[in-house]
Structure 1
């Protein structure tokens, strides 16, 4: 399930993983890693959600707390349980998460809910109670989840080569879905501005690595997916990974690939290098309202490898790095024994 497939080389040094299965690792990356010293600095900002392969939980931390190894720092944690309404199969399938997005749902009494994916399952839960709203064991190596304004959930499966929208608004066990074929699908992000989903993956007809958008049509009960071809662009480097909102500018998106990290301009349909030194294999990146950038990158791709690092796999890290809006490294938070894969800001707005 957690395969590592390598393809191609960047200047003979950086190997690109093909499926990047949650969880993808590679050979040593470039010598552009920030120090792993944790400075005594408090970072004001919103809470940060991280998927932890080691604890098999989603964990939420407070960036204002300096030491993340204390109970004061960890504000919330979640994994499926029977008391929350999950089946034994769903509990067994959950390994810590590949995505976590909080959304305020007008369709559900203006309350907060979360879309969650993991390699072999997906769920919609109430937040912060964690109670099950919809869930299902799904094969295909799920990498991303998004909760649509109508209560349906979008999923991306890298091995399944698809984007799906399940009619989760129709009941906790609903299995109706629409599907769009997309090779190595890794990301789904709802954008109210275009009334559609941004997705990354590979065009199986020509092997191009792309960012594109999908419109969700049909009805709540019978959704349909169609590509908005006017938004399709080829990624600057291969194997697209994350797509995220660039908070503070609705015309921009964060986009990461195995080969780099970028800011995408929706109007011009162009990519520019991220301020954070164009790091490789960035699995998650967010920006705080202040402009501060926070990201996670596998320890296996850092050279030298941090002294405190994730030894469970090659696609996670024990370190969360903080940068100024201009890309200057500020410091890190390190959690001993953690294997963080994805990071999300706990903010219930789409943009």
Structure 2
């Protein structure tokens, strides 16, 4: 009997030692993306504010990573929708579903003030930031997925169902409808590169259906822009269905690029892709890095295994969880907003790169 009790005691000691080796921040997600677990003791993250498009509230929302609980009122620093009192039409307000992109930019041509480019499924706008007042807007069909405010005040848009990249001459007035168009199947992303003076885009080649990252040159005039591909920058994506392109803050030679099949870092000089530090997660809809190197990303609940207990129930392309990773790709923790359906994520950084 004493031998049995002694053996049980040894087992209990070994079990306690094994449990004590858990990461201090809590269990790591089983598929390297957060599954709804949060650290036992959430910690503050220093860095820039995080902008998110929320399909539940139908607003663009900005949160502070310093706040450990994003359900508290002081965590949300700003929210926006195209209301009539901000200069938008009732139709624009009713169509807005929470946004598909939000990019703030400092605009020297407009008194060096901050403005933001916004897209939604059938709506695009330029607003003064943070006041939210309308500068330019238009209802546009085509399932808009991305927007970029160019240095001259024009806006670039990507439409996945419309199969195009357009640059609207928004610099010419709040209702201007003149645009240049470049055909690109399943167009999903636009990002201006001030060093190379090109517009980075993702989509499919209309002739071969190849899934590509490429760059467009913008010529013509501010009032009548023209778009042509800079073919030397064209690269086939490592996996199909390109999605996001993001600035890699701290290194102008790199870009974040995601697709349904993975997430990558693109080197502009070598024109090559490498797997992102977070180990190639699938279906990443938005990825950014803080100046510290910390990686922040958004990924649909439907693509996590297991699916989080607290998650988005409105659709299968959004999530209630924002994941934080160290620069080396180790998961650090998450922020969960109950009932939220976050689709896209950006830093509140008014610099292009």
Fold shared by both chains (TM-score > 0.5): yes
Q: Which residue of 1 aligns with 2:36?
A: 36
Q: Trace 1:15-164 onto structure 2 (pairs within 5 A).
A: 31-39=31-39, 40-164=42-166
Q: Secondary structure of 2:302's partner?
A: helix
* Post-superposition offset of 1:35: 4.7
Structure whose residues are more often helix by fraction = 2
Q: Secondary structure of 1:155's partner?
A: strand
Unaligned runs of 5+ in 1: 1-29
8 Å CA contact 2:103, 2:346 repeated in 1: yes
Q: Secondary structure of 1:169's partner?
A: helix
Q: Which residue of 2 aligns with 1:13?
A: none
Cα-to-partner distance string for 1:13-32 (whole Å, 9 max, x where unaligned): xxxxxxxxxxxxxxxxx944
Structure 1: distance between partners of 2:228 and 2:279? 35
Q: Secondary structure of 1:332's partner?
A: strand
Structure 1: distance between partners of 2:67 and 2:145? 29
Cα-to-partner distance string for 1:59-87 (whole Å, 9 max, x where unaligned): 00000000000111000000011111101
TM-score w.r.t. the length of structure 2 is 0.90
* Post-superposition offset of 1:258: 0.2
* Post-superposition offset of 1:88: 1.3
Task: Determine which structure has more spread, i.e. the larger CA radius of gyration.
Answer: 2
Q: Which residue of 1 aligns with 2:199?
A: 197
Q: Which residue of 1 aligns with 2:189?
A: 187
Q: CA RMSD in A?
A: 0.8
Structure 2: distance between partners of 1:96 and 1:36? 23
8 Å CA contact 2:35, 2:306 repeated in 1: no
Structure 2: distance between partners of 1:250 and 1:117? 25
Q: Which residue of 2 aligns with 1:296?
A: 298
Structure 2: distance between partners of 1:189 and 1:314? 25
Q: Which residue of 2 aligns with 1:10?
A: none
* Post-superposition offset of 1:195: 0.3
Structure 1: distance between partners of 2:218 and 2:120? 23
Unaligned runs of 5+ in 2: 1-29
Q: Does 1:330 align with 2:332?
A: yes
Matched residue count: 322
Cα-to-partner distance string for 1:144-187 (whole Å, 9 max, x where unaligned): 00000000000000000000000000000000000000000000
8 Å CA contact 2:32, 2:278 repeated in 1: no
8 Å CA contact 2:70, 2:337 repeated in 1: yes
Structure 1: distance between partners of 2:224 and 2:201? 21
Structure 1: distance between partners of 2:134 and 2:96? 14
Structure 1: distance between partners of 2:31 and 2:246? 26
